[in-house]
Structure 1
Amino acid sequence: MRKMFFAFALLLAKFSLAQTQYPFQNTSLSFEARVNDLVSRLTLEEKVAQMLNAAPAIPRLGIPAYDWWNEVLHGVARTPYHVTVYPQAIAMAATFDTASIKLMATYSADEGRAIFNKSNGEGKAGQRYVGLTYWTPNINIFRDPRWGRGQETYGEDPFLTGTMGAAFVRGLQGDDPKYLKAAACAKHYAVHSGPEPTRHVDNVSPSDYDLWNTYLPAFRQLVTKANVAGVMCAYNAFKTQPCCGSDQLMIDILRNQWKFSGYVTSDCGAIDDFFERHKTHPDAESSAADAVFHGTDVECGNRTYKALVQAVKDGKISEKQIDVSVKRLFTIRFRLGMFDPSSMVKYAQTPESFLESAEHKAHSLKMARQSIVLLKNENSTLPLKKTIKKIVVLGPNADNAIAVLGNYNGTPSTIVTALQGIKDKLGSGAQVVYEKAVNFTNDTLLQYANISNQYSWQGQKGFSAEYFNNRELKGEPVAKRIEPSVEHDWQEGQIVVDTLKALNFSARYSTDFTATETGDITFELDADDGYRFLIDSKEVLNAWTRNRWGARTYKLNTEKGKVYRLVVEYYQAEGKAAVHLRAGQFAKTDFTALANRVKDADAIVFVGGISPQLEGEEMRVDYPGFNGGDRTSIMLPTVQTELLKALKQTGKPVVFVLMTGSAVAMPWEAENVPAIVNAWYGGQSAGTAIADVLFGDYNPSGRLPVTFYKSDSDLPDFKDYSMNNRTYRYFKGQALYGFGYGLSYTSFQYDNLKLPAKISKTMNVGVRVANTGNRDGEEVVQLYVSGQAKNAPLRALKGFQRMFLKKGESKTVSFALTTDDLSLLDDKGKAKLFSGRVIISVGGSQPDAATVKSKKTVQGFIQL
């Protein structure tokens, strides 16, 4: 036994010596010394390869492969494992709760660490969407509600965006003095907010005033105060230079003024845009060299940066400049503990049990509740009574599990839709009737038919499925089997069949369909990425070049007893994968008949709005009111208004539950529907939260992080990046529902405003808030500043606190107001104090004459 012990000790000593044969492996040295040593040992080719998002392994030095690309917008996204999905970012902004978003980011980083550790243990190191560098948060200003990616942001206000974004970064990156729990990345730097279809060619040139006072403050806060690890530069050009090659943004401001020492990644394909779309550079070599010169360390896309080797040889960039970027990248990896024993890195101990833990799921539900905004509640229509006997639930989002997850999302084990939440709330004590009634933009629905017994392949029921490990259906399939149907959803990297993963794969589904009658049947093919549909070798649907969600239909005229050969071909590229083939008959909804069917209900809940199936990143969607992921109109689709008009005629209480990632103009609804609830895209427990609000188990307390305008005519040109007449800070019209607005089932009043007697760098503002209603509830106390200066905003949020008050209770709230809060930034980014009288308003929403008169806002002034 003694001999065995010494033999093991000798073996361990040899192993340890092998692991520390280079200084970069010596954990007693500083990260800087270790990084310098490692980079000094790399060849030029190895250095350049490390600047791709998919960085390959370097076996001779024991450097593992690593993919920098991962997402954690509202929970870990696109991972093959089940994770907790929180409300969409815009919904989290509606909570106005920095503690909640910080905890959400902490929990998400825990799950990310669990995935990283699990993946490494399973030999999956280097795969996409399992790393610890997350390209989140999106802190672009949601300047125009037509932008489909605005749902990924924290809204239209720089102060709210910066404050929520900083809390997210601190939660995600952790508080360890040596190691990062995860690495956050502020995107998209800078001045980027649509339109989606032209983002690769647009050149934006806002005024320096707008640049410093609107587009940069959140980035400044995350870089200089929250110590964000990374920054992503945007697709568009800024003042004629691509953002990733901008002198002003990348060198002057980010590196020189803000002293940013972290890493910068391009948006995916943005360096290709230099020479292919912006036409500012002649070729890949010069584009890559210029991007690196401007401090872009990683290229997402793995293409153009390969030309850096030749660029060095041609003298377009020095190897020393390459070293700067490579050192930044390895510094991040060292700070994440990737080159140290797991015993030294506390986060490396995070177990798989953290995935979808009870605490995480409970917090997702909490944030879903906090995010819901009560927009209207005429005659106390809400809350509904739980003793209700019959309730009718209608609408395209009522049972839509896709909508509640938003975009850039993971997949939870369980999703609760609005319909399910209401059913769970009422149990067997009430009749819950559901009809979809309408699609988002039309009233003609495909009534799905169960025709599974009409599909067969060589004597077996179902479809012959062939799976290929490439996008082109080339070669021999890696797997074959009989599938009962074509109904599939996968996360990227998830196992499709056998060992085939959902990434750059293709599939062919074949069956013989036997018609049971003469007439017609409509097939609907709904898929991500690309697909073809063939009937008897004739191509009837082709979306092989699609790269986002989309469903298409084809009507087949049938003869009874005839057999038709159906073939679905599908490929998946990146992101989520899905393919669905369904069949049935189209039927137009008769609103009058529907109203007659439901008029005996005690209440009607219509769950409508829009969906991430319609708004999002560079989507090929062209339904009325939508284009390329953006919206061409902010009006609620007409078909939904027409249905609500018919429902109102029943005389029964109608509740409109709106799901959206952006502002929706709904003037008729605001005037005529008694209760309107904005539920956003509420995450995995959205339906539970909605039911809790509808039936009074949670008192709504969300506030709008964006302005809800009355109509399209309120909006300037989408491509105009001037802030003139945009957002609550500069909009001169009357909003339908303003930024910061939200109702409660109780009431709050304000008094005893205390302002500083003299000006100092930090000043205290105090106010007393009282719950004057008959329910406990939460209030979001908001502080606004209005100063007199050229181009000054009408008012600007400079403080907010969420607080809980029991009925009859009052508390004093304090805000720390700084001289920066009483200033504007000049064209060089320097703060200039207001002069004269500055109005300070504190209340439950933006100040106006009505809120001041009703004591829902108190005002005073500071003389500068």
Structure 2
Amino acid sequence: MSYSQQTRRNRALSSVSTLLLSFLLCISKPSNAQSSSPVFACDVAGNPSLAGFGFCNTGLKAEARVTDLIGRLTLEEKIGFLVSNASGVSRLGIPYYNWWSEALHGVSSVGRGSDFSGLVRGATSFPQVILTAASFNISLFQAIGKVVSTEARAMHNVGQAGLTFWSPNVNIFRDPRWGRGQETPGEDPTLTSKYAVAYVKGLQETDGGDPNRLKVAACCKHYTAYDLDEWKDVSRFTFNAVVNQQDMYDTFQPPFKSCVVDGNVASVMCSYNKVNGKPTCADPDLLSGVIRGQWKLNGYIVSDCDSVEFMYTRQHYTNTPEEAVAKSMLAGLDLNCDHYAGQHAMEAVKTGLVNESAIDNALSNNFATLMRLGFFDGDPKNQPYGNLGPKDVCTAENQELAREAARQGIVLLKNSPGSLPFSPSAIKTLAVIGPNAHDVNQTMIGNYHGEPCKYTTPLQGLTQTVSATYSPGCSKVACTEADINSATALAASADAVVLVMGLDQTIEREDLDRVNLNLPGKQQELVTEVARAAKGPVVLVIMSGGGFDITFAKNDEKITSIMWVGYPGEAGGLAIADVIFGRHNPSGRLPMTWYPQTYVEKVPMSNMNMRPDEANGYPGRTHRFYAGETVYAFGDGISYSKFSHRLVKATRHLSLRLDESHVCQSSECQSLDAVGPHCESVVEVHVEVSNVGDREGSHTVLMFTSPPAVHRSPIKNLVGFEKVGLGKSEEVTVRFKVDVCKDLSVVDETGKMKVALGEHVLHVGSLKHSLTISI
């Protein structure tokens, strides 16, 4: 979302005139992040006259308080609350408030609501989301969210953070070239949905569990079918995503629905792009109809930054700025990130494009959210979490969780006998090579980052265990020249080699999509030549958000191990060393498919279809629909130990109960609507998991189902997953509860959920079980 807006502004700041203007603006409207005390309304202790205002009366219900507040505002004052830089009303004791804070994988400095210039100089920087998702550990997702919200509240209490955080990103990582795929939990709707719910709960839920209170307010973005930034000549600001109803409700919508329905998220952000010809932020069906109507959002809907403006200036969807503001508000938008509504809403009212009641409705959603956060309850130091402060940020426990999250996410993709884990006593000389091995530009923390508490590079992490020599090999990840001679000489003299290669934010990020799946620059040549020269085992460590075609390395016997480490966060160097030296047994699994380069050569990134089309050779997308060759598949990942699965309990046949008047009682049906008494059916599947290897470790248990071939159903669906820890020779029973209408349903061609009748095949590892559903 707004990371690009900030980048554009940074470029503009090169002019002296803009610098002066920004300086004047900062004087006239100081950011709450620059304050040494929190920003809040209803400071009754400091101004007793405020006690007479109903909206400051904590004894009243939130709805009554919101109504009282709106009734006291002039139209001009109301409009000041429609934008992210809310102007405040001094006569009512309401200060300026900036809605825009970020917390994708830690409190971020992106946005204007948070910064690190005060008492708090850093916050825990967890792995970028794609790596955390690779842990397939729901409790970890929520634990990270809880730490982030604690640090956010602590920063808010000293005036360095807001209360509204526009995270997480729950878009589907549909195409491996997408620069923002690193921000997401991957390509699968089930994984993404479960991550979204857990992280939102970690951010929002209070210790007392009161649903009417929020620790901080989360925001699920970018709604919807948004997964292209800048690819060739296609821009997200003007892109029209043509999406059929089947793909919409089968792939793109489920994470957002889970956010709202199961996570009770406080906000949803609509995206820049159009969907089937309409800007998402101006589509009443998507906003008022689905988010607010069907899913019953308890919160506010915010635009991506400048998206309302772009409806007029770039998409030419409206004829005037006022019309853009009016259409978005009438569609259900409550808050405009940036300035456009503030500039043009008054004229929109005057010309009859929108009436004041629509503004009141938007403000009621915005203010109700701030009420739940305690913004109108006076000094937060006298509220729950008021005791939090700098001492609660970057604690040893929080930093250890960042290290553990990286360890759990790291995916071991290849491991030849005699390679990993290394024994420190056997490695007298270690060669560490690669542009990401000792990057001091903080590549490991990805985008939407803040200031990390500490930062340990892979080289630094490895040298805490053994002595190492280092050569970058490439001066940057996209090097046009490689220092192969120095690197090969180093490799030839060492007992083992660790190559740390991959990408950084110059190759994949917001506003920048890739055009191929190859290692950039001269990296492949460097890797191949170093492996050829090495006398000992060679470990290739890939740091990236998206996958690669590294078939050359997979098939090279001299490259004995391959690890994918995502962007592993502030403790990434320590976590990588923990895995390489066997202090941690890897258990991460790939949350996205790694395709061969030939895939992207024949698949335009702008084609939104998920299902294959044999007529034109379109192969489909993600593990659910793509049946072609892969370099590595969704769910791939190996361990230093071995695990076996045995089916303990499972139903073979399930007969669904239907009303006597049901149409399928008298005619043959391939599927049933996923509503009705038959939806009470739940199937229990128990799988015994045994550690038959020689070391303890965690194991990621993934359960898939292959549904009957009706309604162009997926090849397989991820039903559920669980992370279990097992000692040597230990076994545990993993119990899955399979909800027939939720877990065994498919989406038909019109976007409706259906229970497919016939044989469903359940998979856990190599274990398969057939379940027949009939009526």
- TM-score of the two chains, using structure 2 as the length reference: 0.85
From 451, 474, 498, the counterpart of 1:605 = 498
Q: Which amino acid aligns with 1:37?
A: D
- SS of the equivalent of 1:271 reads helix
From 832, 841, 859, the counterpart of 2:754 = 832
Deviations 1:24-72 (A, max 9, x none): 1111100110010001100111111101100012010001111000100
The offset of 1:610, in angstroms, is 0.7
The offset of 1:378, in angstroms, is 1.0
Residue aligning to 2:438: 399
Structure 1 residues 510-589: aligned runs within 5 Å: 588-589=481-482
From 617, 621, 646, the counterpart of 1:726 = 621
* Structure 1: segments with no counterpart, 5+ residues: 1-11, 125-129, 445-587, 619-628, 844-851
Specify whether residues 274 and 833 from structure 1 end up closer, same or farther in structure 2 by C-alpha distance, changes over 3 A only: same
Residue aligning to 2:772: 862
Whether the 8 Å CA contact 1:753–1:860 is kept in 2: the answer is: no
Q: State the aligned residue count.
A: 675
Residue aligning to 1:643: 526
Residue aligning to 1:771: 691
Structure 1 residues 688-699: aligned runs within 5 Å: 688-699=574-585
From 102, 117, 138, the counterpart of 2:157 = 117
> Residue 330 in 1 paired to residue 374 in 2?
no
Q: Which amino acid aligns with 2:530?
A: L
**Which whole-Å CA distance do the structure 2 matches of 1:314 and 1:827 have between them?**
42
**Which whole-Å CA distance do the structure 2 matches of 1:277 and 1:434 have between them?**
48
> Residue 92 in 1 paired to residue 132 in 2?
yes
Q: Which amino acid aligns with 1:367?
A: A
The offset of 1:719, in angstroms, is 0.3
Whether the 8 Å CA contact 1:134–1:182 is kept in 2: the answer is: yes
From 571, 584, 609, the counterpart of 1:685 = 571
Specify whether residues 611 and 636 from structure 1 end up closer, same or farther in structure 2 by C-alpha distance, changes over 3 A only: same
Whether the 8 Å CA contact 1:440–1:608 is kept in 2: the answer is: no
**Which whole-Å CA distance do the structure 1 matches of 2:59 and 2:349 have between them?**
34
The offset of 1:17, in angstroms, is 4.7
Q: Which amino acid aligns with 1:836?
A: G
- SS of the equivalent of 1:151 reads helix
**Which whole-Å CA distance do the structure 2 matches of 1:598 and 1:220 have between them?**
51
Whether the 8 Å CA contact 2:229–2:510 is kept in 1: the answer is: no
Residue aligning to 2:734: 813
Whether the 8 Å CA contact 2:711–2:749 is kept in 1: the answer is: no
Q: Which amino acid aligns with 1:825?
A: V
Deviations 1:66-90 (A, max 9, x none): 1000100000000213100000010
From 181, 184, 190, the counterpart of 2:224 = 190
**Which whole-Å CA distance do the structure 2 matches of 1:14 and 1:151 have between them?**
46
Specify whether residues 717 and 443 from structure 1 end up closer, same or farther in structure 2 by C-alpha distance, changes over 3 A only: closer
The offset of 1:13, in angstroms, is 10
Residue aligning to 2:508: 615
Whether the 8 Å CA contact 1:776–1:805 is kept in 2: the answer is: yes
**Which whole-Å CA distance do the structure 1 matches of 2:488 and 2:176 have between them?**
32
> Residue 389 in 1 paired to residue 425 in 2?
no
- SS of the equivalent of 1:264 reads strand
Residue aligning to 1:527: none
Q: Which amino acid aligns with 1:771?
A: N
Whether the 8 Å CA contact 1:85–1:410 is kept in 2: the answer is: yes
Residue aligning to 1:180: 214
**Which whole-Å CA distance do the structure 1 matches of 2:334 and 2:733 have between them?**
48
Structure 1 residues 52-91: aligned runs within 5 Å: 52-78=83-109, 79-80=115-116, 81-91=121-131
Residue aligning to 1:230: 267
The offset of 1:283, in angstroms, is 1.3
Residue aligning to 2:51: 20
**Which whole-Å CA distance do the structure 2 matches of 1:591 and 1:14 have between them?**
68
**Which whole-Å CA distance do the structure 2 matches of 1:305 and 1:207 have between them?**
35
Whether the 8 Å CA contact 2:203–2:216 is kept in 1: the answer is: yes
**Which whole-Å CA distance do the structure 2 matches of 1:593 and 1:15 have between them?**
67
The offset of 1:637, in angstroms, is 2.5
Q: Which amino acid aligns with 1:296?
A: L
Residue aligning to 1:438: 474
The offset of 1:20, in angstroms, is 1.1
Residue aligning to 1:467: none
**Which whole-Å CA distance do the structure 2 matches of 1:814 and 1:236 have between them?**
41
Whether the 8 Å CA contact 1:750–1:858 is kept in 2: the answer is: no
The offset of 1:16, in angstroms, is 7.5
Deviations 1:308-346 (A, max 9, x none): 011111111010010000111111111100111436631
Specify whether residues 314 and 13 from structure 1 end up closer, same or farther in structure 2 by C-alpha distance, changes over 3 A only: closer
Structure 1 residues 337-376: aligned runs within 5 Å: 337-341=374-378, 342=380, 345-376=383-414
Residue aligning to 2:701: 781
> Residue 666 in 1 paired to residue 666 in 2?
no
From 594, 597, 604, the counterpart of 1:717 = 604
**Which whole-Å CA distance do the structure 2 matches of 1:838 and 1:14 have between them?**
64
The structure whose residues are more often strand, as a share, is: 1
The offset of 1:261, in angstroms, is 3.4
- SS of the equivalent of 1:281 reads coil
* Structure 2: segments with no counterpart, 5+ residues: 1-42, 110-114, 612-619, 657-679
Specify whether residues 404 and 286 from structure 1 end up closer, same or farther in structure 2 by C-alpha distance, changes over 3 A only: same
Structure 1 residues 228-377: aligned runs within 5 Å: 228-341=265-378, 342=380, 345-377=383-415
**Which whole-Å CA distance do the structure 2 matches of 1:264 and 1:14 have between them?**
33
Residue aligning to 1:103: 143
Deviations 1:696-750 (A, max 9, x none): 1110111100001122435621000000210000001021111011000000000
Whether the 8 Å CA contact 2:433–2:487 is kept in 1: the answer is: no
From 134, 139, 148, the counterpart of 2:179 = 148
Whether the 8 Å CA contact 1:212–1:827 is kept in 2: the answer is: no
**Which whole-Å CA distance do the structure 1 matches of 2:382 and 2:682 have between them?**
40
Deviations 1:591-635 (A, max 9, x none): 2454234312000111001112321111xxxxxxxxxx1100011
- SS of the equivalent of 1:118 reads coil
From 643, 649, 656, the counterpart of 1:754 = 649
- SS of the equivalent of 2:522 reads helix
Whether the 8 Å CA contact 1:716–1:726 is kept in 2: the answer is: no
Whether the 8 Å CA contact 1:264–1:297 is kept in 2: the answer is: yes
Specify whether residues 612 and 799 from structure 1 end up closer, same or farther in structure 2 by C-alpha distance, changes over 3 A only: same
The offset of 1:204, in angstroms, is 1.0
- SS of the equivalent of 1:631 reads coil
Residue aligning to 1:822: 744
Q: CA RMSD in A?
A: 1.7
> Residue 632 in 1 paired to residue 515 in 2?
yes
Whether the 8 Å CA contact 1:49–1:306 is kept in 2: the answer is: no
Q: Which amino acid aligns with 1:218?
A: P
Deviations 1:331-368 (A, max 9, x none): 11111001114366312332221110111111001001
**Which whole-Å CA distance do the structure 2 matches of 1:277 and 1:159 have between them?**
34
The offset of 1:762, in angstroms, is 2.2
